[in-house]
């Protein structure tokens, strides 16, 4: 669990409900580690070899039955740890491809999986020259970041150079450099794919990618920045379109060589059929998993922990009610001074929970530089339309005062 993850409470609650013992491995040492040697562990997520050594030594004292990663940062390291412990895992090659966008694009191309055309540049290159080598509109992005950080659409050469410079600054941040290594010297440029976007949450069961949920993203995301806002499931797409999304995602996962555990994919659907924007060997990020419930109220985290232990979760189906989440975007740079309307937002019919994860006094950074949300709003109702309407009404009632 990276220290930046939103998911710690949900994974810990899941483990507690199931009665499993957990060890939280994080990249920053906790002052409590000495007091809880079986429960807390520090590993370097960016150095799989050292993390593996650390966990092997740990596992001699406290045997480990399953390894589950949260968020992109842990995907490579958890596969390496699982391999070292002789547990089921995705190949090193497949998790690398799912983590590094240009590698993913090359693999998908080789397998003829529909996706945007792309071209990889080094930041050494002159952006005006790079601009003359691509078609517009296009999307520029770092090759290894998440949550749309640094993802910028450009419609002409001037905007392209501006976007390039902005990404260059993000890639120059020490923290980003440390995490990205040589990847922080790359910019990926892709053809802009128009159309509706969906997110597919899947899980491998006996070698087959099973869809746990397909989310529509009812807000059109046309850039220049790509803020995630509303996710609603079940999808309102035709059964035929949904099938085509599921098939494309399964082909993409196979092209990368993913075989175990969760898969999260984002696809866009222009008139000629779905194209893969991104596919990752991890589960959904933020607190969005709270929209999902399986069987008689099981959380996604419970399902993932059971699956990682090899317990049978094949029969678990998502509950049939419509559900959705609104990721509250950060409207501007500055200090968060006041939050109003949370009670009013909670009172909207269908709203289940309003979680403000930013705290008063916090300095907020919007996209494309930032990568956090103000919080999350959850809704459940009898139809996706009702869920979407409830989320929009809740958003209307919330007010954030930010001092520049
Ligand atoms: P991240 O991994 O940071 O989320 P993505 O590559 O998934 O980055 O891009 C984030 C969002 O930006 C996507 O969900 C999509 O809305 C938009 N986007 C990215 N690439 C493209 C593209 N080639 N065409 C259209 N939209 C894109």
Task: Please spell the DSSP secondary structure of 241-308, one letter per residue.
Answer: HHHHHHHHHHHHHHHHT--SSEEEEEEEE-TT--EEEEEESS---TTGGGG--BTTTB-HHHHHHHHH
pLDDT in tens, the chain (404 residues): 999 999 999 999 999 999 999 999 999 887 788 888 899 999 999 999 999 999 999 999 999 999 999 999 999 999 999 999 999 999 999 999 999 999 999 999 999 999 999 999 999 999 999 999 999 999 999 999 999 999 999 999 999 999 999 999 999 999 999 999 999 999 999 999 999 999 999 999 988 999 999 999 999 999 999 999 999 999 999 999 999 999 999 999 999 999 999 999 999 999 999 999 999 999 999 999 999 999 889 999 999 999 999 998 877 889 989 999 999 999 899 999 999 999 999 999 999 999 999 999 999 999 999 989 999 999 999 999 999 999 999 999 999 999 98
What pLDDT score does 30 carry? Answer: 79
- The alpha carbon of 343 and the centre of ligand 1 are apart by a number of angstroms equal to 33
Nearest-5° Cα angle at 19, 17 to 24: 90
Q: Ligand 1 mean position to 148 CA, how many Å?
A: 6
Interval between CA 118 and ligand 1 midpoint (Å): 13
> Which residues does 61 contact at the CB level (< 8 Å), separation at least 6?
37, 38
* C-beta of 197 in contact with ligand 1 (< 6 A): yes
Mutate to test the pocket of ligand 1, among 144, 148, 198, 231 (most ligand atoms within 8 A of CB): 148
> What does the longest C-alpha to C-alpha distance in the chain come to?
59
Q: Using most ligand atoms within 8 A of CB, pick from 141, 192, 327 the residue to mutate for ligand 1.
A: 141
Both structure tokens of 1: 């669990």
- Please state the atom number of ligand 1 nearest to the C-alpha of residue 72: 2
Residue environment code for 2-30, b if the CB has 16+ CB neighbours within 10 A, otherwise e: beebbbeebbeebbeeeeeebbbbbbeee
CB distance 146 to ligand 1 below 6 Å: yes
pLDDT of residue 371: 87
DSSP code, position 318: B
- Cβ–ligand 1 distance for 145 under 6 Å, the answer yes
Ligand 1 centroid, distance to 171 Cα (angstroms) = 17
Task: Tell me if 344 sits within 8 A of 292, measured CB to CB.
Answer: no
Between CA 73 and CA 282 the distance in angstroms is 10
Q: How far is the CA of 357 from the centre of ligand 1 (A)?
A: 24
Instruction: Give the closest residue (by CA) to ligand 1 atom 2.
Output: 146
């Amino acid at each position: 669990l990276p220290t930046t993850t939103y998911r710690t409470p949900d994974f810990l609650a899941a483990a507690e409900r199931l009665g499993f013992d957990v060890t939280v491995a994080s990249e920053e040492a906790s002052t409590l580690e000495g007091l809880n040697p079986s429960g807390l562990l520090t590993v370097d997520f960016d150095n799989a070899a050292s993390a593996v050594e650390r966990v092997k030594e740990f596992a001699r004292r406290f045997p480990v039955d399953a390894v589950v990663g949260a968020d992109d940062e842990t995907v490579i390291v958890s596969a390496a740890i699982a391999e070292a412990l002789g547990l089921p895992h995705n190949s090193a090659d497949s998790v690398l491809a799912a983590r590094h966008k240009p590698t993913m694009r090359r693999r998908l191309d080789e397998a003829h999986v529909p996706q945007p055309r792309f071209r990889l540049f080094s930041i050494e290159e002159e952006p005006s020259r790079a601009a003359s080598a691509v078609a517009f509109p296009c999307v520029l992005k770092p090759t290894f970041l998440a949550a749309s950080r640094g993802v910028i659409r450009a419609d002409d050469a001037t905007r392209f150079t501006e976007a390039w410079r902005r990404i260059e600054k993000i890639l120059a941040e020490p923290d980003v450099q440390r995490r990205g290594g040589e990847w922080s010297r790359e910019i990926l440029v892709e053809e802009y794919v128009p159309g509706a976007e969906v997110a597919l949450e899947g899980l491998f069961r006996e070698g087959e990618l099973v869809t746990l949920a397909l989310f529509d993203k009812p807000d059109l995301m046309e850039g220049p920045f790509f803020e995630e806002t509303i996710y609603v499931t079940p999808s309102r797409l035709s059964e035929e379109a949904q099938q085509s999304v599921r098939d494309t995602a399964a082909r993409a996962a196979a092209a990368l060589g993913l075989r175990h555990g969760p898969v999260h994919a984002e696809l866009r659907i222009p008139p000629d059929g779905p194209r893969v924007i991104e596919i990752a060997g991890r589960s959904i990020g933020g607190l969005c998993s709270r929209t999902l419930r399986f069987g008689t109220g099981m959380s996604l985290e419970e399902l993932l922990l059971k699956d990682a232990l090899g317990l049978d979760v094949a029969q678990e189906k998502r509950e049939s009610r419509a559900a959705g989440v609104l990721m509250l975007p950060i409207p501007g740079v500055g200090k968060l001074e006041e939050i109003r309307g949370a009670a009013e937002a909670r009172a909207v019919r269908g709203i289940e929970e309003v979680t403000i994860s930013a705290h008063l006094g916090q300095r907020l950074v919007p996209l494309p530089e930032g990568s956090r949300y103000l919080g999350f709003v959850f809704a459940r109702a009898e139809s996706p339309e009702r869920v979407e309407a409830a989320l929009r009404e809740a958003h209307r009632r919330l007010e954030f005062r930010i001092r520049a």
